[in-house]
Structure 1
Amino acid sequence: MGRFQVDRAVSEDRGHLLTEQSNPRSTALDRLDTIDLVQLFVEEDRQPQQAVAAASAAISTAVDGIASRLKAGGRLFYLGAGTSGRLGVLDAAECPPTFCSDPEMVQGVLAGGAPALLRSSEGLEDLENAGREDLDQRGFGADDCLVGIAAGGTTPYVRGGLRHACDIGALAVAMACVPSDQAPLPCDIDIRLLTGPELLTGSTRLKAGTATKMALNIMSTAVMVRLGKVFGNRMVDVSASNSKLVDRSLRILRDLAGVERDRGLTLLAQADGSVKLALLIAAAGLAPDDARELLRSHNGQLRDALTSQGVDLAQS
């Protein structure tokens, strides 16, 4: 009975949140024809893009702050529970294969750990100290960045983690789908993705989840661009570790440096699968070891390394 009373009080307190309100467009959701049901979702799903666009300034500030810390050796952590946490884990997991980043550089921390990816453990989100404890277990420190993701902005697990980040001087970025005045969060940068009430009341895996995924996609990709892992619009900081990536790597070498397939395979072998290094060897006519040292001296920035050699790759 005591647990029910606590939950009821929390429920009543959260009822004012934008993400918990009833959407007037879907009051007859269960009575719609299937085509009308689907069309309603299609129309509502235009809102996440608008919400992300409205938050572009805050997202840009976060990108610059995160990139600066990562360049100095810091790391990026996503922290969340339920859908929010799973989206953070997904984005973190996609960084190494996309950008050849160290798996330690971007990490997703989910309330309940790995089992919560497949089985709901939302009860753990009510433990404020758990967020800090999970970060401490990963050695989270002042040089690092934390993106605390909480659609409704009230998750104690995330609040605790953000507060800890602020206390130790780490970069604290909050991401929520309610206005700041409804659910203030301790942070340095406040990203609010205001997607409005869900068609299925309170189900933030819908519009709120879509907006969060979009924002995380933009944020992590833009950070990696700033770290020099992209040349033009190509993923040059990728390792040719399987047939799909070998094929993509060869296309990049062909399109940017005019390298044909056989020569490209040789270059990739000399570069230990690194497309960025293979491009530098081919375009600047350097020996592999010299190209490695040149790239290192320019902090992994291919464009800067090429410019130092008077080389300008074609971009198509």
Structure 2
Amino acid sequence: MDIHELHTEQVNPASATIEEMSIAELTAYINQEDQKVAHAVAQVLPQVNRLIEQTVDCVRKQGRILYIGAGTSGRLGILDASECPPTYGVSPELVQGIIAGGPKAILSAQEGAEDAQLAAMEDLQDHQVCDKDMVIGLAASGRTPYVLSALSYAKKVGAKTASISCVEGAELSAVADIAIEVLVGPEVVAGSSRMKAGTAQKLILNMISTATMIQLGKVYKGYMVDVQPTNAKLVKRAKQIIQKTTACSEAEAEHVFSQSKQQVKKAILMQLGGVSLDESEALLEKHQDNIVHAIGEFMKNEE
């Protein structure tokens, strides 16, 4: 498919006189177009669900989640990956973002990096991708050579693969085990896929990481119980989570937070189950760190 035929390159008819719009008209127009993104994502939820199911399975088998892309798509993958450790207490190794052109490309465009097919294989080799991993290729155009090469290599080593693109009949779709094609329509500025296409990718990445972490037991009663209390704000949030999820007093939350060595999930188990820190650790180890299953065990014992 020639570039001018891609959905992401089409001219939006409503933009024909965009340069004549006032600021108020521009923001209203952009907002109107943005509202179409959530609807487009809704159309691909079955594929997103399949991807999340396989991702959870990979992680439970000690695999990792690797996002790989170029330009905006690559930066979005890095953004999602970087938020997982502080939010869910996971190792930085569990969810990783890889961008064409390396770290320099995060802050500034590296011309030609998206065409570097050999570099994609080398990047995955550097990350020691294996058959336990889930490799998710991100490319709004669905045809970025760097990403195509990455998914092809990932499949050769037995990794699970998926793609997220914003065109119909994407080249990536033919390579990936699970293909997501979210059709957001022409951008406000033709070809500016950092806009609606980027928003669609961000929404889906949010779903993948969030739903995966919930399935792994890192959320309880809507709270991120593996949050890392690394600053004053997060220390306060951690204590509030303990208080809200156990219905204890502020003083009790303060005490058990200290007794748990500032580990929220263990503090909750200690408060709810009347168990020691060692016992809470044993429960979580038994249930693969899943707080819901751990709570279920001592609740069952009380019946």
Tell whether the structures are fold-level matches, with TM greater than 0.5.
yes
For residues 86-130 of structure 1, give each alpha carbon's deviation from its aligned partner in whole angstroms, at most 9, with x where no partner exists: 000000000001101110000000111111111111411011121
Matched residue, 2:142:
153
Do residues 303 (structure 1) and 292 (structure 2) align? yes
Unaligned runs of 5+ in 1: 1-11
Q: How far does residue 182 in structure 1 lie from its aligned partner after superposition?
A: 6.8
Distance 1:135 1:182, change over 3 A: closer
The CA distance in 1 between the partners of 2:41 and 2:293, in whole Å, is: 32
Structure 2 match to 1:198: 187
Count of matched residue positions in the alignment of Structure 1 and Structure 2: 301
2:278 to 270, 285, 289: 289
The aligned counterpart of 1:121 is 110
Letter paired with 1:139? Q
* C-alpha distance in 2 between matches for 1:32 and 1:310: 62
CA distance in 2, matches of 1:36, 1:22: 18
Letter of the aligned partner of 1:296 in structure 2?
E
SS in 1 for 2:248: coil
Contact kept? 2:65, 2:96, Cα under 8 Å: yes
Q: Distance in 2 between matches of 1:88 and 1:284?
A: 38
Give the structure 1 partner of residue 262 of structure 2.
Answer: 273
Amino acid at match of 1:189: I
Amino acid at match of 2:159: A
Identify the residue that residue 248 of structure 1 maps to in structure 2.
237
How far did residue 181 of structure 1 move? 5.6
Q: Where does residue 264 of structure 1 map in the other structure?
A: 253
Q: Which residue is 1:105 aligned to?
A: 94
1:141-171 residue CA offsets vs partner (Å, 9 max, x unmatched): 1110111000001100000011111222111
Partner of 1:170: 159
Structure 2 unaligned regions, length at least 5: none
Secondary structure of the 2:96 match is: strand
Of 117, 131, 137 in structure 1, the residue corresponding to residue 126 of structure 2 is: 137
Greater mean alpha carbon deviation, residues 292-301 or residues 148-157 = 292-301
State the match for 1:79 in structure 2.
68
In structure 2, give the amino acid aligned to 1:86. Answer: R
How far has the Cα of 1:184 moved from its partner? 4.0
Cα distance in 1 for residues equivalent to 2:103 and 2:44: 30
| Amino acid of the structure 2 residue aligned with 1:188 | D
The alpha carbon displacement at 1:240 in A equals 2.1
Task: Kindly state the Cα deviation for residue 70 of structure 1 after the two structures are TM-superposed.
Answer: 0.4
**1:198 offset after TM fit, Å?**
0.8
Between the aligned residues of both structures, percent identity stands at 38
Distance 1:36 1:183 in 2: 36
The alignment's C-alpha RMSD in Å is 1.5
Query: Paired residue for 1:5?
Result: none
TM-fit CA distance, 1:206: 0.6
SS in 1 for 2:97: strand
Take 2:257 and 2:181, find their aligned partners in 1: how far apart are those partners? 43
Cα displacement (A) at 1:192:
1.0
CA distance in structure 1 between the partners assigned to 2:204 and 2:53 by the alignment? 14
Q: Distance in 2 between matches of 1:198 and 1:74?
A: 36
Deviation at 1:180, TM superposition (A): 2.0
Q: Residue type of the partner of 2:204?
A: A
Q: CA deviation at 1:273?
A: 1.7
The 8 Å contact of residues 142 and 170 in structure 2, kept in 1 or not, is answered as no
SS in 1 for 2:163: strand
Paired position in structure 2 for 1:25: 14
Q: 1:197 to 1:182 in 2, by over 3 A?
A: farther
| 1:261 Cα deviation from its structure 2 partner | 2.5
Distance in 1 separating the partners of 2:260 and 2:177: 40
Q: 1:61 aligns with which of 45, 50, 58?
A: 50
Question: What's the TM-score once normalised by structure 2's chain length?
Answer: 0.96
